[in-house]
Amino acid sequence: MLRIENLHVSIDGRLVLRGVDLEIGDGETHVLFGPNGSGKTSLVMSILGYPGYRVLSGRISFDGVDITDKPMDERVRMGIGVVFQNPPKIYGIRLKDLIKIISKSKMSGAEISGLMDRLNINSSLLNRYLNVGFSGGEIKRSEIAQVLTMKPKFVILDEPDSGVDLDNLQLIGRELAENLKDRSGLIITHHGYILNYVKPVKAHVMVNGVIVCNGEPETILNRIKESGYRWCERCYEMRRSERL
């Protein structure tokens, strides 16, 4: 589904990804861990082709097609959907307007209302301007609703469990688990709460713009929980010295 090789990316002249390798097979969901500022969001944006993220070297292929130089709109059309960590506020555009536009020919009215019900998105939230005054949980639920309405082949979730209370987490977790059954995905999580619901097949840890280790999600999460990312930083040093 997704294959990233030796990807180097800069933003505003600053190197943020320094040789990322990642491969996610068809129908697989992976999880990506990493300390703040390690480059997780930058990786998401680079996969999506978000303007401003400049690929210096390396390549990204999706569904067997090299998309390294393809514009964002094309990648979206190919089936990449992203739940953003920090979506912008847009005055004047209501959540329901956008859902309606996204759903065009992709989802029936009944399907949409089912999804909204499951994500506890009521008409008052639907009638509000996008992300204007939304609570943390509301932002995540609105993001997930939009992206699931797109019916993407590949879903990237950038910290879907940050700033979300337990009730919202359960709602989101169940819906994601259901929807990731028949698609591929990449979930970024800081604390790993979402892993109580979604069971990825593989975990990766990013430190300083590179993926320093891969492995079994439970094992890696437990190690991070025990000793934090210091342990990963050692791996980073090791990898670096190997390369040099």
Partner 1 sequence: MLRDEEIRKALEKPAKYGVDLDLSRYEFGEAEEFTEIDRDVSKRGMEVGVDLDKKESLSTFLHVDYSTVYKSVQRQFKGDLELMTIDEALKKYDWVRDLFWKLRDPCEDKYTAFTALNAKGGYFMRILENRKILIPIQACFLLFTQGIIQPVHNLIIAEPGSEVHILTGCTIHPRVTRGLHLGVTEIYVRRGAKLTYTMVHRWGPEFDVRSRTGILVEDRGIFISNYVMLGELRTFQSQPSARLIGSYSRTSMNNVVYLKGNSEMDLGGEVLLEGDGSRAEIILNSVAEDDAKITTRGRILGLANDVKGHLSCRGLMLSDRAEITTIPILESKNMNSELSHEAAIGKIAEDQLNYLVARGLSRDEAESLIVRGFLDVSKMQLPKPVEEGVRRTIELALKGF
Ligand X SMILES: Nc1ncnc2c1ncn2[C@@H]1O[C@H](COP(=O)(O)OP(=O)(O)O)[C@@H](O)[C@H]1O
Distance CA 162, CA 232 (A): 21
Among 2, 4, 34, 212, binds ligand X (CB under 6 A): 34
* Site string (155-194) toward partner 1, x via CB under 8 A: ----------------------------------------
CA distance 138 to 125: 8
- 131-165: burial string, b at 16+ Cβ within 10 Å, e else: beebeebbbbbbbbbbbbbbbbbbbbbbbbbbebe
Whole-number Å distance between alpha carbons of 102 and 14: 34
Position among 29, 38, 41, 146 found at the interface with Mg ion (CB under 5 A):
41
Nearer to partner 1, 65 or 101 (CB): 101
Q: Convert residues 23-62 into a mask of x (bound to partner 1 by CB under 8 A) and - (unbound).
A: -------------------------x-xx-----------
| C-beta atoms surrounding 207 within 10 Å | 22
142 is a contact residue toward Mg ion (CB under 5 A): no
Task: Map tokens 């180097």 to a residue.
Answer: 8
Would you say 47 and 4 are in contact if contact means Cβ atoms under 8 Å apart?
Answer: yes
93 sits near partner 1 (criterion: CB under 8 A): yes
- Would you count residue 9 as binding partner 1 (CB under 8 A)? no
190 or 240: CB nearest ligand X: 190
Q: Give yes or no for residue 12 binding partner 1 (CB under 8 A).
A: no
Check residue 41 for interaction with ligand X (CB under 6 A): yes
Q: How far apart are CA 233 and CA 212, in angstroms?
A: 8
CA pair distance 57, 72, nearest whole angstrom: 18
Q: Which residues bind partner 1 (CB under 8 A)?
A: 48, 50-51, 72-73, 76-77, 82, 84, 87-88, 90-94, 97-98, 101-102, 129, 146-147, 150
Q: Which residues bind ligand X (CB under 6 A)?
A: 11-12, 14, 16, 34, 36-42
